[in-house]
Chains A and B, each alone.
Chain A
Amino acid sequence: MIRFILRRLLQVIPVFLGTTLLVYYMVFALPGDPIAALFGDRQPPQAVIDTLRSQYHLDQPFWVQYGLFLKNLFTFNLGNDFTGQPIAASLARVFPVTAMLAIEALAIQAIFGVAFGVFAGLRRGGWFDSTVLVASLVVIAIPTFVLGFVFQLVFGVQLGWAKPTVGANANWVTLLLPAVVLGLVSFAYVLRLTRASVSENMNADYVRTATAKGLSRPRVVMAHILRNSLIPVVTYLGANLGGLMGGAIVTEGIFNVPGVGNKLYQAVLRSEGPTIVSIVSVLVLVFVVANLLVDLLYAWLDPRIRYDQ
Chain B
Amino acid sequence: MTSNNSHFVAPIEETPLQATDAVKTDQAPLSLWVDAWRKLRRRPLFIISALLILALIVIALFPGLFTSTPPNEGCELSNSEGAPTAGHPFGFTFQGCDVYSRVIHGTQASLSVGLLSVLCVLVIGVTLGALAGYYGGWIDAVLARLGDIFFALPLVLGALVITQLPLFRENKSVWTVVFVISLLAWPQMARITRGAVIEVRNADFVTAARALGVSKFGALVRHVLPNALAPIIVLATLELGVFIVAEATLSFLGIGLPQSIMSWGNDIAGAQASIRTRPEIMLYPAAALSITVLSFIMLGDAVRDALDPKSRQR
Contact surface of A with B, Cβ cutoff 8 Å: 11, 14-16, 18-19, 22-23, 26-27, 30, 32, 37, 40, 137-138, 140-146, 149-150, 152-153, 157, 242-243, 246-247, 249-250, 253, 264-265, 268-269, 271, 273, 276-277, 280, 283-284, 287-288, 291
Q: Which residue numbers of B lie inside 8 Å of A, CB to CB? A: 145-146, 148-150, 152-154, 156-157, 160-162, 164-167, 169, 241, 245, 248-249, 252-255, 268, 272, 275-276, 279, 282, 286, 289-291, 293-294, 297-298, 301
Q: Is the CB of B294 within 8 A of A138?
A: yes
Q: Bound complex: CA of A180 vs CA of B256, how far in Å?
A: 26
Contacts of A15 in B (CB 8 A): 145, 148-149, 152
What chain A residues lie within 8 Å of B286 (beta carbons)?
A: 142-143, 146, 149-150
Contact A149 B275 (CB under 8 A): yes
Give, as a whole number of angstroms, the nearest-CB distance from B267 to chain A: 11
Chain A residues contacting B152 (CB-CB under 8 Å) are 15-16, 19, 284, 287-288, 291
Do the beta carbons of A283 and B157 come within 8 Å of each other? Answer: yes
Which of B146, B166, B254, B276 has most chain A Cβ within 10 Å? B166
Bound form: Cα–Cα A250–B157 in Å: 11
Cα-based distance from A142 to B289 in the complex (angstroms): 8
* Interchain CA distance A294-B153 in the complex, whole Å: 17
Nearest A-chain residue to B271, judged by Cβ = A149
- Complex Cα distance, B145 from A269, in Å, reads 32
B145 and A143 contacting across the interface, CB-CB below 8 Å:
no
B166 in contact with A37 (CB, 8 Å): yes
Whether A246 contacts B157 in the complex (CB less than 8 A), given A268-B164, A288-B152, comes out as yes
Please give, as numbers and ranges, the residues of chain B lying within 8 Å of A40 by CB-CB distance: 169
Enumerate chain A residues within 8 angstroms of B248, measured Cβ to Cβ: 143, 145
Having A30-B165, A152-B275, A253-B253, one finds 18 other A-B pairs with CB under 8 Å, namely A16-B152, A18-B146, A18-B149, A23-B161, A32-B166, A141-B290, A143-B248, A145-B249, A150-B286, A153-B279, A246-B156, A249-B253, A250-B252, A268-B253, A268-B254, A269-B254, A277-B161, A283-B157
Contact of A143 with B161 in the complex, beta carbons under 8 Å: no
Asked whether B160 lies within 8 Å of A268 as measured between CB atoms, the reply is: yes
Q: Which residues of A contact B153 (CB under 8 A)?
A: 19, 22-23, 280, 284
Which chain B residue shows the least CB distance to A16? B152
Q: How far is the CB of B284 from chain A (nearest CB, A)?
A: 11
Q: Knowing A15-B149, A19-B152, say if A280 contacts B160 (CB, 8 Å).
A: yes
Is the pair B156, A250 in contact by a Cβ cutoff of 8 Å?
yes
Q: Which residue of chain A is the closest to B269 with respect to CB atoms?
A: A145
B162 to chain A, nearest CB (A): 6
Q: How far is the CA of A140 from the CA of B148 in the complex (A)?
A: 25
Q: How far is the CB of A5 from chain B (nearest CB, A)?
A: 18
Contact of A137 among B145, B162, B294 (CB under 8 A): B294
Q: Of residues A11, A142, A271, which shows the largest number of chain B Cβ atoms within 10 Å of its Cβ?
A: A142
Q: A23-B161, A137-B294, A246-B156 are in contact. Are A145 and B268 (CB under 8 A)?
A: yes
- Could you jot down 21 A-B contacts, CB within 8 Å? A14-B148, A15-B145, A19-B150, A22-B150, A26-B164, A27-B164, A137-B294, A137-B301, A138-B290, A138-B294, A141-B293, A146-B268, A149-B268, A149-B275, A246-B157, A264-B160, A268-B164, A268-B253, A268-B255, A271-B164, A284-B157
Closest to A144 in B: B249
